[in-house]
Structure 1
Amino acid sequence: MTIQAINVRNQFRGKIKAILLGQIVSEIDVETAAGIVTSVITTRSVKDLNLEIGTEVVALVKATEVSLAKL
């Protein structure tokens, strides 16, 4: 499947800046032109995708709910 075939409108291209590995899930910080996007994915996926600092990725953001707070 290509990235164009995925039905996600919010796509942020960037490079992995930091990885915090956990036993089950891991946090991946991706530096994009819009700022840092953090993803929480399974540690198995981190290994299967061979993710490491400096890897170019696309952060795909799909949410059913976005909350806002007045400043």
Structure 2
Amino acid sequence: MKLSARNQLPGKVVSINKGATTAHVKIELASGLAMTSSITNEAVDDLGLKVGDSVHAVVKASDVMIGK
């Protein structure tokens, strides 16, 4: 699958916590950092996501804030 988003971070699913409608999917990135995404339970099921899967976190944003 090709995407226009340039920020595609490869990683591995380390946890999936489903709520009533939304799931929090934690991804361990190749750099050893972690990122959590909130997606619908339906998206988790449609993608067949499970712990250990290799995935890409795709970040498409108009603004990136930096704090110090």
Q: TM-score normalised to the size of structure 2?
A: 0.89
Match of 1:36 in 2: 34
With the length of structure 1 as denominator, give the TM-score of the two structures.
0.86
- Highest Rg: 1 or 2? 1
Q: Secondary structure at the match of 1:66?
A: coil
After TM superposition, the runs of 4+ consecutive aligned structure 1 residues lying more than 3 A away are none
**Structure-2 residue corresponding to 1:56:** 54
Instruction: Work out the number of aligned pairs and report it.
Output: 67
Q: For 1:68 and 1:49, how far apart are their aligned partners in 2?
A: 31
Q: Any idea what the Cα deviations from partners look like across 1:5-62, whole Å, max 9, x if unmatched?
A: 2111111111100111011111000111231111110010001111010011111011
Q: Which of 61, 65, 68 is matched with 1:67 structurally?
A: 65
Report the identity percentage: 37
Residue 24, structure 1, aligned to residue 21, structure 2: yes
